[in-house]
């Protein structure tokens, strides 16, 4: 839940004003995760020869959404930026995506500073090109003292791979007698994830209308509310984000519990 007193968002359009007035600022999600889908289709629909044009257009949506979350006082925004499966794409496309990522990491530093956003990253980061790893580390260091929104980029990331990596870390801890087998619980296992200090996502947004999780945050989203929109990622606006917040506020989050005697199992 975001702190109502730190909300600095100012609606810019009539749609944003209408949505903003309907929001309960005391019931905003702490952690928002987004599967940013539809870049390729966006480019194809507009007659571009390359999918990269869609990815480049999607950077503006990343900027808009992260800035909006920062102004709402959201604690964490996790963006599915490059999956483990994306490594199977043509080498030329992968190289272009890494180039875009490098540009983003450098060019966004003033925006991170202006909005007090701290950047972190999750995934098998050692698989990224050396240049990208260097730029990523530099931007993470640049923003390390910022105290607002945590922007968590999932890079070279897969939910199944994270669980495997976490299980291997746990195995090493057990082998080294750092922990006893009878002490292993869900909470203990969570400490071996890529970013163990982050709260679990309250809201998962997927753009472009696809009805699947695509190997994203499989451990963390056990009780996350899921919101699907047909809007393609490059067209996803601050108003679309507010609509997702409104939908989230209509949900009754039970976490497997029953709140009244009349509720069905």
Report pLDDT for 6: 77
| pLDDT confidence bin for 253, thresholds 50/70/90 | confident
Q: Does 254 map to a domain? A: no
Three-state secondary structure call for residue 243: helix
Q: Give the C-alpha separation, 207 to 96, whole Å.
A: 22
Q: Does 71 map to a domain? A: yes
Q: Give the C-alpha separation, 95 to 52, whole Å.
A: 10
Structural tokens at position 230: 């047909």
Report pLDDT for 257: 67
Q: Is the pLDDT of residue 1 over 80?
A: no
Report pLDDT for 255: 72
More confident residue, 6 or 188: 188
In this prediction the pTM is 0.94
168-172, 231-235, 252-256: the lowest-pLDDT one: 252-256
Q: Does 100 map to a domain? A: yes
DSSP calls for 129-173: -HHHHHHHHHHHHHTTT--S-EEEEEEEE-HHHHHHHHHHHHHHH
Query: Which 8-state DSSP code applies to residue 262?
Result: T
Q: Is the pLDDT of residue 263 over 90?
A: no
**Predicted confidence (pLDDT) per residue in 89-146, tens digit:** 999 999 999 999 999 999 999 999 999 999 999 999 999 999 999 999 999 999 999 9
Which element (helix H / strand E) includes 245? helix 238-249
Structural tokens at position 228: 């699907």
Report pLDDT for 27: 95
Measured on CA atoms in the order 60, 66, 70, 73, is the torsion positive or negative?
A: positive
Q: Does 259 map to a domain? A: no
**Predicted confidence (pLDDT) per residue in 162-186, tens digit:** 999 999 999 999 999 999 999 999 9
Q: Does 262 map to a domain? A: no
Q: Does 148 map to a domain? A: yes
Decide if 3 is catalytic.
Answer: no
Report pLDDT for 264: 47
CATH code at position 53: 3.40.1180.10
- Rounded to the nearest integer, the mean pLDDT of the chain is 94
Q: Which of these is catalytic: 86, 215, 235, 247?
A: 86
Q: Which of these is catalytic: 37, 39, 152, 202?
A: 37
Domain count, the chain: 1
| pLDDT confidence bin for 2, thresholds 50/70/90 | low
Report pLDDT for 128: 98
Q: Give the C-alpha separation, 53 to 34, whole Å.
A: 20
Q: Does 258 map to a domain? A: no
Q: Give the C-alpha separation, 174 to 155, whole Å.
A: 28
DSSP calls for 77-92: EEEEEEEGGGGGS-HH
Report pLDDT for 265: 45
How open is the CA angle 105-111-117, to the nearest 5 degrees? 85
From residue 108, give the alpha-carbon distance in Å to each of 66, 87, 113, 114, 240. 11, 24, 9, 10, 22
- Residue 84 belongs to what domain range? 4-249
Backbone angles phi, psi at 246, to 5 degrees: -60, -45
How open is the CA angle 199-202-203, to the nearest 5 degrees? 135
Decide if 86 is catalytic.
Answer: yes
Report pLDDT for 5: 61
3-class SS string, 7-72 = CCCCCCCHHHHHHHHHCCCCCCCCEEEEECCCHHHHHHHCCCCCCHHHHHHHHHHHHHHHHHHHHH
Say what percent of the chain tops pLDDT 70.
94
Q: Does 255 map to a domain? A: no
Over range 80-91, report the average pLDDT.
Answer: 97
Over range 57-68, report the average pLDDT.
Answer: 98
């Amino acid at each position: 839940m975001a702190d109502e007193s730190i909300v600095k968002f100012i609606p810019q359009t009539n749609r944003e004003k209408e949505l903003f007035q309907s929001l309960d600022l005391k019931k905003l999600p702490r952690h928002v995760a987004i599967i940013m889908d539809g870049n390729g289709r966006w480019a194809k629909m507009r007659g571009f020869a390359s999918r990269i044009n869609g990815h480049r257009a999607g950077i503006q949506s990343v900027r808009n959404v992260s800035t909006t979350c920062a102004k709402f006082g959201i604690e964490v925004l996790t963006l599915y930026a490059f999956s483990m499966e994306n490594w199977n794409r043509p080498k030329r496309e992968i190289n272009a995506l890494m180039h875009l990522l490098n540009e983003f990491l450098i060019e966004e530093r003033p925006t991170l500073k202006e909005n007090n956003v701290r950047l972190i990253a999750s995934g098998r980061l050692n698989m990224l090109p050396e240049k990208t790893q260097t730029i990523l580390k530099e931007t993470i260091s640049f923003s390390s003292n910022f105290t607002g929104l945590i922007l968590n980029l999932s890079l070279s990331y897969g939910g199944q791979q994270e669980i495997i990596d976490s299980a291997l870390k746990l195995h090493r801890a057990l082998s080294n007698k750092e922990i006893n087998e009878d002490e292993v619980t869900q909470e203990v296992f969570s400490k071996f994830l890529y970013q163990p200090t982050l709260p679990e996502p309250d809201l998962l947004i997927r753009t472009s209308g696809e009805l699947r999780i695509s190997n994203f945050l499989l451990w963390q989203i056990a009780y996350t509310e899921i919101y699907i929109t047909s809007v393609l990622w490059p067209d996803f606006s601050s108003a679309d984000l507010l609509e997702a917040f409104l939908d989230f506020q209509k949900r009754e989050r039970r976490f497997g519990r029953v709140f009244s005697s009349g509720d069905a199992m």
